Amino acid sequence: MPLLDVRDLSVVFNRRGTKPVTAVDGVSFTVEPGQTVGLVGESGCGKSVTSLAIMGLLPRRGNKVTGEVRFDDTDLLKLRPQDLRDWRGRDIGMIFQDPLSSLNPVLPLGIQVAEVLERHQGRTRQAALREARGLLDAVGIPDPQRRLKDYPHQLSGGMRQRALIAIALACKPRLLIADEPTTALDVTIQAQILTLLKELVDDSGTALVMITHDLGVVAGLCDTVNVLYAGKVVERAYRHHLFAEPRHPYTDGLLQSVPRLDVDRGRRLHQIRGSVSDNIPWPEGCAFAPRCDRVIDDCIGSVVPLEPTFRGGALRCANPVPLEVPA
C-alpha cells in the first residue's frame, strides 16, 4: 500500500470578481514508503499549490480543493483542521523555497527547532533543546551548541536551509515534502543541500516528494518523476526512462532545453515556443497543443486522457514522441 496516494486532486481558485482558475486539475500520484518522487514543471504549472493542498495549507476562503489525499489510508482532506494539525510536522514534514524568510526572525534558532519537538513529542523545553543540538549536528551545522542561541539573520542561507531540514525532520516524519528547497541557494550550496537531503532521507527511510523545476535535481534524486503542465500530470515515468526516452513532447522539449557539454557544441539551444501563462485557463484538449511541434487533430477539441504505459508510467499525449526502435 502506498504511503501517500493522491487521487484526482483539483484546486480551483475562486475569488470574488474574477473568473475561477483551475490551478491543479485532477492530479493523481502515489508515493511508496521510502521512495523519492519528483514533481517537475515550469512556473505556474501547479507544483506548489499541489503541495500546499496536500498539507491543507491553502486558505479555505477562495480555494476549492477536491479529490482525495490518502496518507496511510486516512484522507487528509476530510480531517478537521485541528486534527490535521497533529499530522503536520509529526507525520509529514515540509521544507520551503526560501530559507531566508521561513525562519522566525525574532526567535533564536534553538527555540524554533525545539518548538516542533515540544508540540508533537511532549518534550520539555530543556529536553527539546538538548535534542535540537543533536539535530543541528546531524544536518552538518558546525558548533551546534552555540548556534542554538543564534538568530536566523546570523546564519548563512545554506545553514538556514540546513536548519529548516533539521526542523522538518525533527519528529522523524514518514513523508517529507520539499518545495524547491534549493532555488534560493548558490549552486555549490545546492549540491551540498541535495546530498544532505538524500543521505538523511535514505538513512531514515523517509519518503520524499521533491518539487522542482530543475531537471538536474530530478536526475540526481528521484525514483519516479511526474511532469506537470498547466495543472495536469502529462507524463509519469521512472527516472531513467524519462531521461533516456521522454515520450511527451513537453518533457522532450524540457530535456532538450538543458545545455549539455557533450553534444551539439556551437548549436543554438532548443527552446519551447510561447509560455505557459498564455494558455491558462485551458478549455479543452491538450493545454500544450499551442506550443507543441507534434500537434495533430486529436490534440484539439477532445480531452486527452492519461494512459498507463507498458513501462509502468503514464502518458497524456495523442501523438507521443516515438520510441527509438533498435535497428
Partner 1 sequence: MTSGGISALSDHKRRRIDELISRTSETGGVSLLRDAGRRLVRNPTAVVGAVIILLFLVIAIFAPLVAPHDPVQRFPELTQNLTVDSIPGATAGHPLGSDPLGRDFASRMIFGARQTLFVGVLATLIGLLIGVLLGAIAGAVGGWLDVLIMRLTDVMLALPSLLLAITLVALASRSTQWTVIIAVAVVNVPIFARLLRGSMLAQRESDHVLAARALGVKRHTIVLRHMLPNSLTAVIVQATLTFAVAILDAAALSFLGLGDPDINRAEWGLMLGVDGVRYFEVRPELAYFPALAIILVALGFTLLGESIREALDPKNRR
**Contacting residues toward partner 1, per CB under 8 A:** 55, 57, 85-90, 93-94, 96, 98, 101-107, 115-116, 119-120, 142-143, 146, 149-151, 153-154, 164, 167-168
Integer Cα distance of 101 and 143 in angstroms: 23
Task: Answer for the pair 134, 103: CB distance below 8 angstroms, yes or no.
Answer: no
Q: Which is nearer to partner 1, 120 or 174 (CB)?
A: 120
Q: Which CB, 94 or 234, lies closer to partner 1?
A: 94
Buried b (16+ CB within 10 A) or exposed e, 116-144: bbebbeebeeeebbbbbbebbebbbbeeb
CA–CA separation, 299 vs 288, rounded Å? 9
CB of 109 to partner 1, least distance (A): 10
Helix (H) or strand (E) holding 92: strand 92-95
* Closer by beta carbon to partner 1, 151 or else 238: 151
Closer CB to partner 1, 183 or 309, in the complex: 183
Closest CB 228 distance from partner 1, rounded Å = 21
Nearer Cβ to partner 1 (90/294): 90
- Cα-atom radius of gyration of the chain, to the nearest Å? 21
Nearer Cβ to partner 1, position 96 or 282? 96
Residue matched to cell numbers 486527452 = 304
- Nearest 5°: phi and psi at 26? 60, 45
List CB contacts of 67: < 8 A, sequence separation 6 or more. 6, 7, 8, 9, 10, 26, 27, 28, 77
Greatest pairwise CA separation for the chain in angstroms: 68
For residues 128 and 314, which CB has a smaller minimum distance to partner 1 in the complex? 128
Shortest Å, Cβ 138 to partner 1: 18
Rounded Cα–Cα distance for residues 324 and 155 (Å): 50
Closest approach of Cβ 211 to partner 1, in Å?
A: 13
The 3-state DSSP class for residue 269 equals coil
CA-to-CA separations, 261 to 252, 255, 258, 269, in angstroms, rounded: 18, 13, 10, 12
Minimum CB distance to partner 1, residue 83 (Å) = 10
Q: Which residues have C-beta within 8 Å of that of residue 162, sequence separation ≥ 6?
A: 136, 139, 140, 141, 193, 196
Nearer to partner 1, 86 or 264 (CB): 86
Rounded to a whole number of angstroms, the minimum distance from the CB of residue 203 to partner 1 is 21
Closest distance to partner 1 from the beta carbon of 236 (Å): 26
Buried b (16+ CB within 10 A) or exposed e, 36-47: bbbbbbbeebbb
